[in-house]
Structure 1
Amino acid sequence: MNIKNTVLQKTSIVTFLFIVIVFAWVCGQLIVNDDELAFPVLIETSTTCRTTATANDSELIVFTPSKNIAVQLTQKLCGDNVVAKQYGVVVGYWGYKTSDSLEFVGKGIADLILAKNNIMAAFKAESTYDYMPVVGFSDYTAFFISSKEKPIISKSYFLDKKIGLLDYPTSRSGHILPKQVFKDLDINIANLNILYASSHNELRDLLANGKVDIIASFWKENDKDRFSKNYITPLSNNITGTRWYLKMQQNNTDLLCAVQEHLMAMSRDQELHYYQNVSPFWRCENNTAVFKVGENNE
C-alpha cells in the first residue's frame, strides 16, 4: 500500500507541474504583444515610394553610393508624370563600398545607376545591359599629396615614405594610378610602406594626423584648409568623372529626358563645386532625344 501511495503521490506532483507549465505558457501567449517581437532594421540600404499609378507594380530601380542622393532622387522620380506613366514604384538603393557598385553593375540590377566608367567598361555593362550615359561629372586630376613637401616622382623618394592608398582596386586616383607609377619606376610594391584606407576622407585624416607622409587622391576645394596646394604633384590628368547611366533596352526617350532633367536640377543644389559641374549627354527638345556625339565622350 505504501508503494502504491508513493506512486500516486509522485504522479500527482508531475501532473500538477505539467498543468502549471501549460498554464504559464498560455498566459505568456496572451500577455506578450507581437509588436514587441519585431526586430528593428539596423542598417538601411534602400528607400521606396509609390507614384500616382497605384495599380502598377512595376519598379524603377536606382542605385547610388550616397544615401542622401538616393532618397532625394527617389522622391523626385516618384512625383514625375513620365515616371508615373510607366512605373508604380521607385526603389532607391545605396552602398558605400565599391563591392556594392560591382554587384549592381555586374548583374544589371539597376535601371538608373551612378558609377565609374571604368567599372562599366570592366563588366561591358553598356553592351550587355544597354546602359547609356545620361549625365557626367567633370574630368579630374589625380595627385600625390603631402603635408610637408612637394612629392617627387622618383624611386628613391618613395622607398622611405609611408604612403596612404585606398584599399579598393577600382579607385583610379587612390589605387590604380599610384600603383602604375610605382610599376613604371620599377618599384616592388612589397618594398613600400603602404597603409590602406577605406575612403578618400580617411586618407586625408591619415595625412593630417601624421600617420602617413603622402597620399594618392584628387584635390578638393576645402583641402586647402588642411594642406598646401604647393605640396601636390599630379599623377594623371583628365580622369573621366563618374556618370549616371540609364538602362535603355527600349528606346525610352521620354524617361531618359525626364531623368536627365532631374539629375541636372539636383546637381545645381549640391554644395561641392565638383558635383555642381555636370554635363548632359542628350539634347532633349521637341519631344526627341539626340545623343550629343563627341561632346561628352572620352
Structure 2
Amino acid sequence: MLPLFLTSHKAYFGVLAALFAAGFSLCLWFSKQQASLPLLGDYHVYHCDTGGSGKGSFNLLTVSSIFAREIADNLCRAPLMAGHYKSVSISWKPRQQLTAEEVLNEDYDLIWSREHSLRGLVPEYSSYYESLLRYDQYKVFWFSRNDQPQLTREYFRDKKIGLLNDRLSHTFHLLPLASLKQLGVDISLQSLIYFDDASSLYRAFAQGDLDLVSGGLFLEQDLDIPLQRMLIADNVVAATLFVRKARPAEIDCAIATAFDDATAGYFSAHRDFPGAAHCGG
C-alpha cells in the first residue's frame, strides 16, 4: 500500500518528477567527476626533471623501452645536464616511424639509429647530426626455453617465433629473418608473431607463448630462466647515438656515461667513443 501522502495523483507525479530530476543531476555530477580525471600521458614517453637552472628539455629518441627510464634518470642526475636543461624527455618507437621532418627540424637532441637508416631518410642528415657513441661487435642469438636451437630447416618447422614489428631492427627483425632465409625456411609458412615493443615480445616468450626469439646475452640475466642459445651473428652494430651538432659540447661525457651505466650488462659489445679522452674519471 502506498503511503498516504502519495494517494493523490498530483503528489504521486510530483515525487516521480523530483526523483527523475535528482537522478539526472546525479548523472551530470558523475560525468563532471569523470571529465576531471587527469589525462594519461603518451605511453611511449618518459620525463624527468634535472632540478637545475637550465632551460628547455633534452629530447631523446630510442628504439626500445627496456632501459629508457634508466638512461633518462641518469641524465637528470648529471650536473652538466642540469646546467643546460630543465628536464629530459625520452621516447621510443620503431625506427621507421621517425620522419624526415623530425630530422630536418631537429626535434630530437639525440637519436638512436644507424647511419644507413638516417641517410636513407635524409641524405644530408650530417648537416644536423653527428655520431657520438657506437656499440659494435655485438652478438645476436636464437634463444629457446627447451632444446638448443639448431640451424636447420627441420628444426624451425612448426616453431612459433617472436619478432619486433620494426623492419629496421637488426636484432629483433632483420637478422632472425635472414637466418631463416639462409636455412631455406619458407617465411610465408612460418608462424611469425610480431610485437610492438621488446618488453611485450620477451614477456610472451617467458610465459611460453613463443618457442624462439632473438636477442643479445642480456636476455639470459633479464628473464632469469633456463635458456638455450645458438649464435646468429657475431659482429653487429648494437647502437649508434647521433646528437645534434648544435649542442653544448660539454654534455657529451654525461650522455656517454648515462648510456654506459644504464646498459651495463646488456651490451656485450665494443664501445667506440672518440671523445672519451676528454672525459674525467
Measured against the shorter chain, the TM-score band is: 0.5 to 0.7
1:177 maps to what in 2? Answer: 175
1:226 maps to what in 2? Answer: 225
Q: Larger relative CO (CA 8 A, sep 6+): 1 or 2?
A: 2
Instruction: State the alpha-carbon separation in 2 of the partners of residues 106 and 181 from structure 1.
Output: 35
Q: 1:265 to 1:101 in 2, by over 3 A?
A: farther
Q: 1:196 to 1:120 in 2, by over 3 A?
A: same
Instruction: State the alpha-carbon separation in 2 of the partners of residues 265 and 72 from structure 1.
Output: 8
1:104-253 to structure 2, matched below 5 A, reads 104-105=102-103, 108-124=106-122, 127-220=125-218, 221-223=220-222, 225-228=224-227, 231-248=228-245
Instruction: State the alpha-carbon separation in 2 of the partners of residues 147 and 161 from structure 1.
Output: 12
2:257 maps to what in 1? Answer: 265
Q: 1:79 to 1:91 in 2, by over 3 A?
A: closer
Unaligned stretches of 5+ in structure 2? 1-33, 63-67
Counterpart selection for 2:59 from 51, 57, 62: 62
Superposed CA RMSD: 3.6
3-state SS, counterpart of residue 270 of structure 1? helix
Q: 1:100 to 1:62 in 2, by over 3 A?
A: farther
Counterpart selection for 1:79 from 74, 77, 82: 82
8 Å contact 1:260–1:280 — kept in the other structure? no
1:39-59 deviation line (CA, Å, top 9, x unaligned): 634115355668647xxx7x5
Instruction: State the alpha-carbon separation in 1 of the partners of residues 191 and 175 from structure 2.
Output: 17
Instruction: State the alpha-carbon separation in 2 of the partners of residues 152 and 276 from structure 1.
Output: 23
Instruction: State the alpha-carbon separation in 2 of the partners of residues 188 and 171 from structure 1.
Output: 21
Deviation at 1:90, TM superposition (A): 4.9
Code of the aligned partner of 1:95:
S
Counterpart selection for 1:280 from 269, 273, 277: 273
Code of the aligned partner of 2:72:
A
What percent of counterpart residues are identical? 19
8 Å contact 1:115–1:245 — kept in the other structure? yes
Instruction: State the alpha-carbon separation in 2 of the partners of residues 106 and 158 from structure 1.
Output: 43
1:93 maps to what in 2? Answer: 89
Counterpart selection for 1:42 from 22, 40, 43: 40
3-state SS, counterpart of residue 244 of structure 1? strand
Instruction: State the alpha-carbon separation in 1 of the partners of residues 171 and 127 from structure 2.
Output: 27
Code of the aligned partner of 1:110:
Y
1:14 maps to what in 2? Answer: none
3-state SS, counterpart of residue 176 of structure 1? helix
Query: Structure 2 length normalisation: TM-score?
Result: 0.67
Deviation at 1:176, TM superposition (A): 0.7
Query: Structure 1 length normalisation: TM-score?
Result: 0.63
Code of the aligned partner of 1:262:
A
Instruction: State the alpha-carbon separation in 1 of the partners of residues 129 and 217 from structure 2.
Output: 30
Aligned residue pairs: how many?
234
